[in-house]
Amino acid sequence: MLRKPAPSQTGLEIVTLEELVPKDHLLRRIGAAEDLTLIHDPTPPLHCADNGRPAPDSTLMFKAQFLGYLVGIR
């Protein structure tokens, strides 16, 4: 005979990333000090607007690569 499992989740908690990352974390200090217009401004002419799928944001890609470098991901 099959029984219904008892519900295991009793509540829901809403958490933001701001609450999870400590105020003195290294990435917060880097985020406050960075100015990525050097990367963002010259790259739009390199992307084709009407052919292929949309390109990811160059700034986001740079941040991901920089974060990987900081934490040792190769």
Written as one string, the DSSP assignment of 52-70 is SSPPPPHHHHHHHHHHHHH
CA distance 56 to 5: 43
Q: Please name which of 45, 38, 74, 73 lies closest in space to residue 59, comparing C-alpha atoms.
A: 38
> Which pLDDT does position 16 carry in this prediction?
92
Report the pLDDT averaged over residues 54-60: 84
> Which pLDDT does position 1 carry in this prediction?
64
What 3-state DSSP class applies to 27?
helix
Query: Per residue in 14-32, pLDDT tens?
Result: 999 889 989 998 888 888 8
CA distance 38 to 57: 13
Locus of tokens 């985020």: 31
Q: What is the reported pTM?
A: 0.60
